[in-house]
Amino acid sequence: MANQVRIFQLARKLGLRSEALLTVLEDLGVEDVSAASSIDIETARAAAELLAEQAREARKRAEEEEAARAEAEAEAEAAKAAEAAVEAEEAAATEEVAPEVEETAEEPEVEELPEEIEEEEEVEEEEEEEAEEEGRARYVPAWAAPESLRSLEEQLAELEEELEEEEEEQYVPLPEEARRPRGERPEHAIDVPPVVSVLGHVDHGKTTLLDALRETNVVDGEAGGITQHIGASEVEIDGQTIVFVDTPGHAAFTQMRARGGQVADIVVLVVAADDGVMPQTVEAIGHAKAAGVPIIVAINKIDMPGANPDRVKQDLLEYELVAEDYGGDTIMVPVSALKKENLDELLEMILLVAEVQELWADPEADFTGVVVEAGMDESRGPVATILVRNGDISVGDVVVCGTAYGRVRRLNDWRGKSVKKMGPGHPVEVIGLSDVPEAGQIMTRVENVREAREIVAEREEAIREEEMEGTARASLKDLYRELGELDVKDLNLMLKADVWGSVQALEGSLKELDEQLDEVEINIVSKGVGDINESDVQLAMATDAIILGFHVGASEAARRAAEDEHVELRTYDVIYEAIEDIQAAMVGMLEPVYEERVIGHARVLQIFRISRIGVIAGSVITDGFAQRGADMTVTRDGEVVFEGKLESLKHFDEDVRRIDAPNECGISTSDFRGWQEGDEIEFRAQVEVPRRTSFENVR
């Protein structure tokens, strides 16, 4: 499935305004989109190619115009030279003519065009030139002058390369040691249960389906009824085991869904029969296809009013998922997770597909496991949920995972029951690491703690070098800031969450917001897992940062310190609430924009002449309001008789700053004394208007 790129990001890469790119996309047939909408790579390339074509045409026209201009100038020079030669000959001939002939010679009369006709022709020529210029410049960015149009072609090549890299990054496969063993099956190999990843759009019933299959009730414990962690569990049917991985459906959890798709042997795509194919449904299909795993579609909520499984099957045809009853090979099972209908059939289909795959693992191979999720527990410390791929893990083993290491103190199965050992193909919770590993990292076993420390030290050094290289690169925003051409305000944030997956999801969403607004830059000062402590508050105070906590609490000492030092500390249970708050904060940091708008109207009822004050127009406010200092326009019989400032505004004998309709008032200004009864007055003032941003309608 093609990767997606937002329109405003594409416009920025091409050096265009979003409005210009939207016009190009409209010509390509892409309608009903905004700057925040996403388009696929092919559409992006088509738009860029159209821009490049327009640039080439503009360059060609510019070269032709330059050649025509040079030719015209040459002809003008030649004509001028010829005219000079003729004048010289005439002058020489005139000297030889007798005086009487010169006196009697009459100059021929030349009929001159009226000045009005000449002016009309000049105006028409100018309008035609402007129209031609506007047509030529329609798609060409301001920087694409004839001498630099080559830049757009270079941008197109760079864009293709960047989008391909982004697509590769989004679907980075797991290291080979973390995937299912391939090749010839050893004699001592064992059959392992299939790992099934449950993917789909938010609120389509993924977790409810799993609850029904394993007879638990996880969904009630999720904030807002939305799964915000990736969890692994097991279901046993007729003596056979299935390992399920549940993933969030919210847009912010793209990385977690991609990870779930990569560790899976089978993807169960949950689509609500009453809602149909939605954005995260399409994304999930892409993850499954990128991972190269078979897809089983569970059409859920068939018990709901408006459910239409056939419509879901038809919608999925667009994504090359053809149901078996439509002549295809994609298994689609209508189910009701709420009423537990057709669940046995779904499990049978999963086992059938798994049997065809012939899944196995080598229990005697070196231990490898992939981290499905990791977090910090108050009493147990760093905790990592891993899926054992090969070999086995036992209590007492020394393991390394990313930059975390340690001796395994405890192992828990998916129900939380303590075990001494866990073999391949099963999820297990590992306790005893020095730090919280990142989700998706590979866990391996080493001989002793000293070897583990050496490995971690080398990895940390590599990370530091990479970070130093990254900080050395100046962004375009930084360059503008240094040149003084862009007033950028910093929004410093600290992220704390209960698991790394949530940290990654929140960080990814914030980075996306940062790209959408040039005037505000989001800086992630620090990120980590576990409750917010006093050290976090001290760092936030030093860096002038806001602390965002997701699914974590804050110690009493941290709350007291935050209150004393006026550090903003916010905690959330639902991720989109955090994103919306940061959006609001970014909009609040923008410089205000003012527009002159009509604020009210009045009509003059009576004129008062007071010697020490002047002429006062006794008026009634007919709509809106009048305020001192506003601009006003006085009209009489449809003609403007005065434009100026409202200097004095009275209500009875009191000076007032503002008066609303339908009250009466006295209006005067030192610049105008010719008031008459019946005069109409319009008041205008500079009014602050809300700033509109490209992410206002993005969640």
- Provide the β-strand partners of residue 404: 401
Q: What is the spatial distance between Cα 633 and Cα 681, in angstroms, rounded to a whole number?
A: 6
Is there a catalytic annotation at residue 207? Answer: yes
Total-model pTM: 0.52
Please answer whether residues 507 and 527 qualify as being in contact, where contact means their C-beta atoms are separated by less than 8 angstroms: yes
* Model pLDDT, residue 223: 41
Is there a catalytic annotation at residue 203? Answer: yes
In the set 206, 287, 426, 650, the catalytic residue is: 206
Q: Which 3 state secondary structure label does DSSP give 545? A: strand
pLDDT in tens, 332-342: 999 988 888 88
Q: What is the spatial distance between Cα 481 and Cα 469, in angstroms, rounded to a whole number?
A: 21
Q: What is the spatial distance between Cα 204 and Cα 270, in angstroms, rounded to a whole number?
A: 7
Q: Side chain identity at 137, as an amino acid letter?
A: A
CA 479 to chain centre: 22
Element (H, E) at 522: strand 520-529
Going across the sheet that includes 545-550, the strands are 520-529, 489-497, 545-550, 569-572
Domains of the chain and CATH, by start: 4-99+113-168 (no CATH), 193-358 (3.40.50.300), 474-589 (3.40.50.10050), 593-689 (2.40.30.10)
Burial of 548 (0-12, 13-18, 19+ CB in 10 A): buried
Is there a catalytic annotation at residue 250? Answer: yes
Q: What is the number of other CB atoms lying within 10 angstroms of the CB of residue 451?
A: 13
Q: Are strands 520-529 and 489-497 parallel, antiparallel or unpaired?
A: parallel
Please answer whether residues 11 and 39 qualify as being in contact, where contact means their C-beta atoms are separated by less than 8 angstroms: no
Q: How far, in Å, are 432, 496, 511, 554 from residue 530 at the CA level?
A: 16, 6, 22, 9
Is there a catalytic annotation at residue 206? Answer: yes
Q: What is the spatial distance between Cα 696 and Cα 699, in angstroms, rounded to a whole number?
A: 8
In the set 201, 204, 207, 301, the catalytic residue is: 207
Residues of the chain with pLDDT under 50: 1-2, 97-118, 120-121, 123, 130-150, 167-172, 216-230, 248-258, 260-261, 472-474, 476, 480, 483, 485, 696-699
Cα atoms found within 13 Å of the Cα of residue 631, Cβ hemisphere only:
9
In the set 43, 201, 203, 227, the catalytic residue is: 203
Q: Which 3 state secondary structure label does DSSP give 311? A: helix
Please answer whether residues 9 and 162 qualify as being in contact, where contact means their C-beta atoms are separated by less than 8 angstroms: no
Q: Is cis: bond before 662, omega within 30 of 0?
A: yes
Q: SS3 for 252-278, per residue?
A: HHHHHHHHHHHHCCEEEEEEECCCCCC
Q: What is the spatial distance between Cα 129 and Cα 119, in angstroms, rounded to a whole number?
A: 15
Tokens of 493: 């944030």
Q: SS3 for 186-250, per residue?
A: CCCCEECCCEEEEEECCCCCHHHHHHHHHCCCCHHHCHHHCCCCCEEEEEEECCEEEEEEECCCC
Q: Which 3 state secondary structure label does DSSP give 550? A: strand
Q: What is the spatial distance between Cα 310 and Cα 288, in angstroms, rounded to a whole number?
A: 22
Q: Which positions ≥6 away from 366 have C-beta within 8 Å?
A: 390, 391, 444, 445
In the set 250, 496, 551, 650, the catalytic residue is: 250
CA 458 to chain centre: 35
Here the contacts of 221-229 (C-beta below 8 Å, separation 24 or greater) are: 223/551, 223/573, 223/574, 224/573, 224/574, 226/202, 226/250, 226/574, 228/253, 228/502, 228/505, 228/551, 228/574, 228/575, 229/256, 229/373, 229/498, 229/499, 229/501, 229/502
Residue 439 backbone dihedrals phi, psi, to 5 degrees: -60, 140
Tokens of 538: 């001290």
Q: How far apart are the first and last CA of the chain?
A: 22
